[in-house]
């Protein structure tokens, strides 16, 4: 019944979107995000619409194949819309470095320019300029009520250093600094809290102007911790004077404690939020290492507490998996992906997924790290991070073969939209269990309650008794997601959860106190 209801709901939402598409676009991303209603899908435009005709995973233009670009990406926007996605995080679209590069196309995060689009993203099948193609892509996303977040790289490519060495941090020998182990980039010198570097600030200010002119609705700041809070505060305030709804997401985590290079700037996540960022990544990506329910619940309570800690509202993304993380199916199989899906859809977080997640791609590229047939950089190999989305080469569209999980993805996103008022305004309650591997929580608002039970043990079945005060069998309870059926009694549920199983129930005319 619930699946049928959500399918009808989806058709209604799509019809509404089609009607609204005729209206002039008004950015509402910041409000959507701060209410935890964004369903964000991260894409690499270089692969998003790629046409791999012979299915070998590599895009060979000499054989008539086409890498992803602004125009062929438009063909997948309907797919995202019907899946419930309402926001895309577009990985860097600026020109990439070719010297001291990684991969046959160059890393997306090795920015050779902050004012020129990546020519690799231009389609030759039109007379439109590259900028016109970018504008068309964003406009087509907006017609489908899909907001667009553009990625702002943290560092510059070696090519940019050669052109503008004054922008970069130098070591004691006068050489540009290689941050962490990112050998294809050099660290920009943004200054410090006492004095920001105006050259780098102007570089980023120009980027903000540029992407806003293209029509973007927000920015994701790559490794935001590597720049001073004062730098970000000035930049964010500048953007908000132009568009109060322009959203800023910091790639930062409460668990990050070290700079990317000794003596480099390191700004804690809370200082970034104080500077004006609307949200950050938190540490949900650490769930792969958590073994007890209390570890997950403590982090949920921490992120929930942020609402009351700052002068303005803040939010987080469900950063359970990102392009920097191994595919969930390589960590704990499809059940892990399923748990991530339903946590994103029921917690007070903005849902966040990587292209290919919805069909369980494992991002294993058989040609990875082998000698390239051709290259557009000085790297002669197909450099990849095994089990992670490829950002270094002209490669296939992300995507696995799990069509059943795709249906679950659509259903979960529809459910998130349906219960949006509950998540945005509801009372979050941790429920007591007698098994350390089993987590349980509920969210109530206006006599509607969502109950969620899950097994953190991905190797064994977990039995538990879950206390749900004042619950009784007379209440209308709709099973939304489950592999096994819980047994309800007065004030409690008894569950026998499969490894990694998550259960979601919707209860009418009931509120947790």
pLDDT at 7: 45
- 341 and 471 inside one domain: no
In the predicted structure, residue 203 carries a pLDDT above the cut 90: yes
Per-residue pLDDT tens digits for 416-427:
999 999 999 999
- 27 and 128 inside one domain: yes
Residue 59 · residue 67 · CB < 8 Å = yes
Which of 408, 425, 442 is the C-terminal boundary of a domain? Answer: 425
Mean pLDDT of 211-221: 98
- 483 and 400 inside one domain: no
pLDDT at 18: 44
Q: Is residue 431 part of a domain?
A: yes
Handedness of CA 157, 159, 163, 169 (dihedral sign): positive
Point out the least confidently predicted range of 95-104, 255-264, 491-500: 255-264
CATH number at 74 reads 3.20.20.80
Residue 191 · residue 197 · CB < 8 Å = yes
Nearest partner of 417 among 76, 32, 31, judged by Cα: 32
Helix and strand numbers (H, E) in the chain are 14, 18
Q: Is residue 139 part of a domain?
A: yes
pLDDT at 6: 47
- 409 and 290 inside one domain: yes
In the predicted structure, residue 239 carries a pLDDT above the cut 80: yes
Per-residue pLDDT tens digits for 17-34:
444 445 799 999 999 999
- DSSP E strands: which ranges in 17-86? 39-43
- 408 and 437 inside one domain: no
Which of 373, 399, 425 is the C-terminal boundary of a domain? Answer: 425
Q: Is residue 184 part of a domain?
A: no
Q: Is residue 454 part of a domain?
A: yes
Q: Is residue 326 part of a domain?
A: yes
Q: How far apart are CA 114 and CA 259, in angstroms?
A: 23
Average pLDDT, the chain: 94
pLDDT at 19: 41
Q: Is residue 178 part of a domain?
A: no
- 420 and 445 inside one domain: no
Neighbours of 395 (CB within 10 A): 29
Query: How many domains would you assign to the chain?
Result: 2
- 433 and 348 inside one domain: no
Residue 307 has φ and ψ, to the nearest 5°, of -60, -30
pLDDT at 23: 75
How far the first Cα of the chain sits from its last, in Å, is 28
Mean pLDDT of 323-333: 97
Confidence category of residue 307, pLDDT binned at 50, 70, 90 = confident
pLDDT at 1: 35
pLDDT at 513: 82
Residue 221 · residue 250 · CB < 8 Å = yes
Per-residue pLDDT tens digits for 269-303:
999 999 999 999 999 999 999 999 999 999 999 99
- 436 and 420 inside one domain: no
Per-residue pLDDT tens digits for 146-170:
999 999 999 999 999 999 999 999 9
Neighbours of 310 (CB within 10 A): 12
Per-residue pLDDT tens digits for 91-146:
999 999 999 999 999 999 999 999 999 999 999 999 999 999 999 999 999 999 99
- 354 and 496 inside one domain: no
Residue 400 · residue 360 · CB < 8 Å = yes
Mean pLDDT of 347-374: 97
Place of tokens 């903005």: 350
Which tokens hold the place of 384? 């990849």
Mean pLDDT of 476-487: 96
DSSP 385-445: -TTS---SS-BPPP--S-HHHHHHHHHHHHHHHHTHHHHHH-EEEEPPBS-TTEEEEEEEE
Which tokens hold the place of 415? 């459910």
Mean pLDDT of 438-461: 97
Which of 385, 409, 425 is the C-terminal boundary of a domain? Answer: 425
CATH number at 443 reads 2.60.40.1180
- 471 and 334 inside one domain: no
pLDDT at 280: 97
pLDDT at 4: 40
Q: How far apart are CA 152 and CA 220, in angstroms?
A: 6
Q: Is residue 177 part of a domain?
A: no
- 314 and 348 inside one domain: yes
pLDDT at 179: 94
434: containing domain: 427-508
Q: How far apart are CA 29 and CA 115, in angstroms?
A: 24
Contacts 24+ apart (CB under 8 A), 429-436: 429/512, 429/513, 430/297, 430/300, 430/301, 431/466, 431/467, 431/468, 432/466, 432/467, 433/293, 433/464, 433/465, 433/466, 433/467, 434/464, 434/465, 435/293, 435/462, 435/463, 435/464, 436/292, 436/293, 436/294
In the predicted structure, residue 62 carries a pLDDT above the cut 90: no
- 329 and 389 inside one domain: yes
Mean pLDDT of 342-364: 98
pLDDT at 455: 98
């Amino acid at each position: 019944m619930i699946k049928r209801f959500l399918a009808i709901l989806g058709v209604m939402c799509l019809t509404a979107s089609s009607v609204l598409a005729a209206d002039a676009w008004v950015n509402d991303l910041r409000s959507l995000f701060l209410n935890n209603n964004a369903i964000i899908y991260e894409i690499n435009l270089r692969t998003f619409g790629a046409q791999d005709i012979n299915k070998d995973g590599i895009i060979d233009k000499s054989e008539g194949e086409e890498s992803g670009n602004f125009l062929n990406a438009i063909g997948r926007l309907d797919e995202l819309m019907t899946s419930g996605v309402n926001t895309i995080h577009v990985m860097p679209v600026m020109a990439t470095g070719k010297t001291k590069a990684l991969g046959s196309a160059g890393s997306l995060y090795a920015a050779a320019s902050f004012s020129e689009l990546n020519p690799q993203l231009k389609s030759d099948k039109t007379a439109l300029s590259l900028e016109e193609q970018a504008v068309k892509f964003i406009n087509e996303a907006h017609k489908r009520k899909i907001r667009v977040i553009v990625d702002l790289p943290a560092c510059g490519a070696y090519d940019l250093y050669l052109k503008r060495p004054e922008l970069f941090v130098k070591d004691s020998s006068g050489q540009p600094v290689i941050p962490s182990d990112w050998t294809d980039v050099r660290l920009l010198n943004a200054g410090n809290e006492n004095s920001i570097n105006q050259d780098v600030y102007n570089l980023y200010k120009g980027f903000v102007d540029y992407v806003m002119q293209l029509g973007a609705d927000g920015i994701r700041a790559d490794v935001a911790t590597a720049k001073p809070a004062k730098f970000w505060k000035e930049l964010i305030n500048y953007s908000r004077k132009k568009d109060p709804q322009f959203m800023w997401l910091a790639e930062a985590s409460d668990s990050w404690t070290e700079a990317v290079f000794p003596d480099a700037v390191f700004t804690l996540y809370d200082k970034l939020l104080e500077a004006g960022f609307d949200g950050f990544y938190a540490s949900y990506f650490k769930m792969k290492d958590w073994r007890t329910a209390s570890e997950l619940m403590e982090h949920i309570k921490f992120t929930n507490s942020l609402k009351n800690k700052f002068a303005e509202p803040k939010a987080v993304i469900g950063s359970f998996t990102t392009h920097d993380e191994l595919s969930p199916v390589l960590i704990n199989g499809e059940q892990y992906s399923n748990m991530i899906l339903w946590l994103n859809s029921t917690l007070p977080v903005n849902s966040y997924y990587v292209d290919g997640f919805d069909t369980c791609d494992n991002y294993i590229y058989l040609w990875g790290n082998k000698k390239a047939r051709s290259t557009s950089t000085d790297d002669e190999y197909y450099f990849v991070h095994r089990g992670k989305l490829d950002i270094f080469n002209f490669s296939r569209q992300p995507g696995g073969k799990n069509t059943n999980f795709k249906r679950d993805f659509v259903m979960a996103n529809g459910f998130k939209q349906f219960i949006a008022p509950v998540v945005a305004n509801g009372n979050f309650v941790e429920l007591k269990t007698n098994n350390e591997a089993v987590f349980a929580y509920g969210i109530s608002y206006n006599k509607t309650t969502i109950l969620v039970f899950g097994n953190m043990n991905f190797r064994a079945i977990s039995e538990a008794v879950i206390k749900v005060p004042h619950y009784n069998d007379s209440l209308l309870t709709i099973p939304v997601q489950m592999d096994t059926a819980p047994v309800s009694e007065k004030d409690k549920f008894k569950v026998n959860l499969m490894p990694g199983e998550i259960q979601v129930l919707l209860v009418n005319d009931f509120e947790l106190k």
